[in-house]
Each structure stands twice: as structure tokens, then as C-alpha cells.
Amino acid sequence: MSMDKLIDSLSSQGWYVWDDFMSLQHIQAIKNSIPDTLQDARIGRGDTLQGNKSIRADQTVWLEPEMGEPIVNYLDKMEQVRQELNCQLYLGLRDFETHFCRYPNGGFYKKHVDNPRGQGRRKVTTVLYMNETWQAGDGGELVVYDKENNQLFELEPLAGRMIFFMSEEFPHEVLPTQQKRESIAGWFLTEKLL
């Protein structure tokens, strides 16, 4: 079962790609629940926008249950994953924050670590891809590196696919996309820092 594979891979190698995590039907329903107006992405919640356009060029909106049933279903699914990770791996995940991202043609996100030096609460990163018509040559691949910056793999942002990885351990980047590219990024958070 995929949940067991997720647990095994996350604990042994620190990442896992779950194809068909979500059905195309559910993805369509989520897309239809996203508000029309998105915001230029910031690097972290609360950071300033200035200068960030050279690092990332995408638009985002934080997801809330009030946006409708398809979003609630997604949040429920992620809550099941959170409980499973806590039961099996004792990760102490307390919360989940998640936003929808849209990269326009030409959009990218330069190499970064989601939780550098473990200073923040982000423990596990998740990215769900939502691009039904993706083809080779469209760009927009996620490139994942190890701690020594050796490239581990490249991933096409195919609809229904979800990647999980430990937020402190894997530098990654989004290559320039030749097509509109949509995804939902999420982070399981540890207890608030004192």
C-alpha cells in the first residue's frame, strides 16, 4: 500500500513520490474552488515581497476549508497522512499549512531549502501537481538535490502526483516552465518554537 511505502521511503531516504495521490476528478474540483485572485508569492509567510521576483515568479493563495468541499477533502486527506506520520515515525507534526501556486509561462523558483538550518517549524514538505496536459519539453520540472548539492532527480509536475520530502534536508528548484504550471505546496509543522 502506498501509505506504507511513504512511511518506508520517508524514513530511509527522506523523500517519496506518490503517483495518483489524487484523482483527476478531484484535482479538477479543487481547481474550480480556487479564488480568481491570487497574490505574488512571498518567500515565507510574513516576509517582504521586494526583490523576490528574481527568486520566484509565481502567484499563490493560502487554502482554507471555507473555500469548499474539494479543499476540505484535500485537507482531510492530509490530516490522515499527518496522523500516520506521527504514529509511525514520531515526527511530532502539529499543523499543516498549504497554498495553491500558479506559475505563468516563464515562471520558476530558484534553488532553496524550505526550512534552512531547521530554524522554522516546517518539517515535511508536500507538493501536489495539477497539470493534466503536461508534455515532455514543457519545462517546469522540480529538481531535487542532496545536502551536498548533488542532483538526485528531476520530476515532471504531472497531475495527481505528490512528492513528500523532509523540509530541512533537500535543496530544490523549479526550472522555468513553458506552460502555465499549477500545484499545491504544503508543510507539516512541528510544535511552535518557544
Residues that bind ligand OGA in the complex, under the rule CB under 6 A:
101, 109, 114, 127, 142, 172, 174, 183, 185
Among ligand OGA, Mn ion, none, what does residue 115 contact (CB within 5–8 Å per kind)?
none
Contacts of 44 (CB under 8 A, 6+ apart): 120
Q: Which CB sits closer to ligand OGA, 83 or 151?
A: 151
Phi, psi of 147 (to 5 degrees): -60, -30
Among Mn ion, ligand OGA, none, what does residue 10 contact (CB within 5–8 Å per kind)?
none
Q: Which CB sits closer to ligand OGA, 74 or 109?
A: 109
User: How do strand 109-112 and strand 172-174 relate by DSSP bridges?
Assistant: antiparallel
Q: Which CB sits closer to ligand OGA, 31 or 88?
A: 31
CB of 117: closest distance to Mn ion in angstroms? 15
Q: Which CB sits closer to ligand OGA, 88 or 152?
A: 152
Q: Which CB sits closer to Mn ion, 65 or 147?
A: 147
Alpha helices in 39-186 (DSSP H): 69-89
Among 14, 70, 99, 114, which residue interacts with Mn ion (rule: CB under 5 A)? 114
CB of 39: closest distance to ligand OGA in angstroms? 14
Q: How many helices (H) and strands (E) does the chain have?
A: 3, 11
Q: How far apart are CA 55 and CA 43, in angstroms?
A: 8
CB of 112: closest distance to ligand OGA in angstroms? 7
The vertex-19 CA angle with 44 and 116, nearest 5°, equals: 25
Angle at which helix 24-33 crosses helix 69-89, to 10 degrees, equals 120
Contact residues for Mn ion, defined by CB under 5 A: 114
